[in-house]
Chains A and B, each alone.
Chain A
Amino acid sequence: MLEIKNVSTSYGHVEALRGVSMAAHPGEIVSLIGANGAGKTTLLNTISGMTPARSGQILLNGVEITRLSPEKIVNLGVCQVPERRQVFATLSVRDNLTLGAYTRMRGRGEPPIKDRKTLHLDIETIYAMFPILKQREKQLAGTLSGGEQQMLAIGRSLMGRPKVLLLDEPSLGLAPLIVRDIFEIINCLREIDTIILLVEQNARAALRVADRGYVLETGRIVMAGPAADLAADPAIQQAYLGKQGR
């Protein structure tokens, strides 16, 4: 399981997370929601080591990963699908997927990929999940549509056989119909028995797909609970749209 204990993170002078504690278990989808600037993305970046925590602890299956380098954290099975997808635009779809398994091919990730055949099989598994990627196999990732790039980014992370999958705003900038497809995919990811943390601005959709949810406000967790309960709570709307205005 993934445990986050009293974590604080700052960017320069700005405290982006203030004593955040939470936990997540394999096979469940946990949504982190909250208004812009609440610290959702920072929380994911802190877990993946891109923005190291200033204080507190992050434990993966009892092993402390706080302040390890991002590379080491990836080796331990934490894979992040970054905001705005960040595919390697100048590489082909297949190469993007291959690089997703980089740590496993270098023998540092689990299970290691020792030969081309294993790699090929793994890529085929991703293609089975995202048939469109197989059609685009040789195309440069930069030429893909937004939705396809999002699928590629998710597929690329799955190539690392994550124990923890961090999804950062997967619906950002996508057309509403594509958003539906992406959430469909996220729903299916439950089957791979990983810990999934989902950061979403689309709170209603995120709570619908998730098992549990946490609400962040200015770097703090202000609400937590089963997703269905949170979805029904009117306080959520206030967290997004503020107290009653004039």
Chain B
Amino acid sequence: MSLQTEIIQFLLAGITVGSIYALIALGFVTIYNVTGIINFAQGEFAVYGAFIAITAFQKSRLLSGNWQVALEWPLPAAALVGVVITTLVGILLYRLAIQPARRASILSMIIITIGAAFVMRGAALLLWGTDPYRLPVFTPGPPLKIFGAILTRQSVWVIAVTAVLLVILYWFFNRTLTGKTLQACADNPKAAQLMGISPQRMALLAFGISSAVTAIAGIVIVPSTFMTYDRGLTLSLKGFVAAIVGGLSNPAGAVLGGISLGVLESFGAGYLSSGYKDAISFIVLFIVLAVRLGGFLRRRGSAGERAGL
């Protein structure tokens, strides 16, 4: 393989993985903007989306084989169920754990979402065990060739789904009343309240949207990589790093951050060391934090933080 092809190959792989990071980062940003909370359980939504879709799609043995499920729905229906149930989980998380503690300190809120991540991860372990799971590729067929580099059909799906989601979200936030209401809440929660907008209702909505987007990320990636119950944490951290790189409160930045992180990882794994691939994102995190947080990011905080939500 020529150097040029190799570079394109790494780039394509990076963009594919980066799309997933971008979606998770968007999930972070959506919740953070409206509520000022960083949800450490974010990555678990991706795991749940994938696992639920798989369970609906194929015969599954849950609870260490004590519970057999054979729904065998078609893939689109299974995926839909994955997204819907995960969204409900997200909404439940807000109602049961976040809303009752909404006046708590940041430290408490971090611990609560960490606790939530543990509960979700433990429940996933109990239900699905430690086995790796995979969905079949959405459309089987030979991979595409781009300048000699290979792009699998599933990668095309990943990138396309990300692109479509971005368009939908853009439309939602900028063209619908509800979307603008969410933006208003992120911008100035106090003024939003004076308009008769309920910040708690908006926070619930943010959790719903965020968990749905992250669940979709989990579902589109699971045909190309195995999903295990403990992937949530790594996905959370990568999504968070992507969000930070993009400025944390900026959706477009989150997408760019996600894709650049994916590309960086892909090149790092290819040229430096595949074993330390996961360390790359944290080194990026440390650098970004050191360089930028001393300055404007820290002072600004999110709207929710200012309002004490």
Against B, the Cβ 8 Å flags (1 = close, 0 = not) of A86-119 are 1111110001001110110110110000000000
Contact B183 A160 (CB under 8 A): no
Residue from B186, B188, B190, B197 in contact with A102 in the complex, judged by beta carbons closer than 8 Å: B197
Least Cβ–Cβ distance between A71 and chain B, in angstroms = 5
Contact B188 A100 (CB under 8 A): no
Smallest Cβ-Cβ distance to A70: which chain B residue? B193
A48 within 8 A of B: yes
B195 within 8 A of A: yes
Against B, the Cβ 8 Å flags (1 = close, 0 = not) of A137-149 are 0000000000000
Q: Would you list which residues of chain B between 178 and 224 have a CB under 8 Å from chain A? A: 180-181, 183-184, 186-188, 190-198
Residue from A88, A100, A156 in contact with B187 in the complex, judged by beta carbons closer than 8 Å: A88
A123 within 8 A of B: no
Against B, the Cβ 8 Å flags (1 = close, 0 = not) of A63-91 are 00000011100110001101000111111
A50 within 8 A of B: yes
Give every chain A residue within 8 A of B188 (Cβ-Cβ): 86-89
Contact B196 A80 (CB under 8 A): no
**A153–B157 Cα gap in the complex (Å)?**
45
Give every chain A residue within 8 A of B177 (Cβ-Cβ): 98, 102, 105
Least Cβ–Cβ distance between A194 and chain B, in angstroms = 16
**A95–B180 Cα gap in the complex (Å)?**
7
Residue from A69, A90, A100 in contact with B195 in the complex, judged by beta carbons closer than 8 Å: A100
Smallest Cβ-Cβ distance to B197: which chain A residue? A102
Contact (A88, B194) CB under 8 Å given A98-B177, A105-B177: no
Give every chain B residue within 8 A of A156 (Cβ-Cβ): 195
Give every chain B residue within 8 A of A99 (Cβ-Cβ): 180-181, 184, 192, 195, 197
Least Cβ–Cβ distance between A6 and chain B, in angstroms = 25
Contact A160 B191 (CB under 8 A): no
**A80–B183 Cα gap in the complex (Å)?**
20
Residue from A75, A86, A87 in contact with B196 in the complex, judged by beta carbons closer than 8 Å: A75
Q: Would you list which residues of chain B between 263 and 285 have a CB under 8 Å from chain A? A: none
Q: Would you list which residues of chain B between 212 and 240 have a CB under 8 Å from chain A? A: none
Smallest Cβ-Cβ distance to A159: which chain B residue? B195
Give every chain A residue within 8 A of B195 (Cβ-Cβ): 74, 99-100, 102-103, 156, 160
Q: Would you list which residues of chain A between 20 and 71 have a CB under 8 Å from chain B? A: 48, 50, 69-71
Contact (A109, B196) CB under 8 Å given A50-B190, A82-B190, A88-B188: yes
**A89–B184 Cα gap in the complex (Å)?**
9
Residues of chain A at the chain B interface (Cβ within 8 Å) = 48, 50, 69-71, 74-75, 79-80, 82, 86-91, 95, 98-100, 102-103, 105-106, 108-109, 156, 160
Residues of chain B at the chain A interface (Cβ within 8 Å) = 177, 180-181, 183-184, 186-188, 190-198
For this complex, 22 residue pairs linking A to B, each with C-beta atoms less than 8 Å apart, are A48-B194, A50-B194, A69-B198, A71-B198, A74-B196, A86-B188, A86-B194, A88-B184, A88-B187, A88-B188, A88-B191, A90-B186, A90-B187, A91-B183, A95-B180, A95-B184, A98-B180, A100-B195, A102-B195, A103-B195, A160-B195, A160-B196
**What are the 10 tightest A-B residue pairs by CB atom distance, in nearest-first order?**
A74-B196, A103-B196, A86-B191, A88-B187, A102-B195, A70-B193, A88-B184, A90-B187, A71-B198, A80-B194
Supplied contacts A71-B197, A89-B188, 13 more A-B pairs, CB within 8 Å = A70-B194, A74-B195, A87-B188, A88-B183, A88-B192, A90-B186, A90-B187, A91-B184, A95-B180, A99-B195, A102-B181, A108-B196, A160-B195
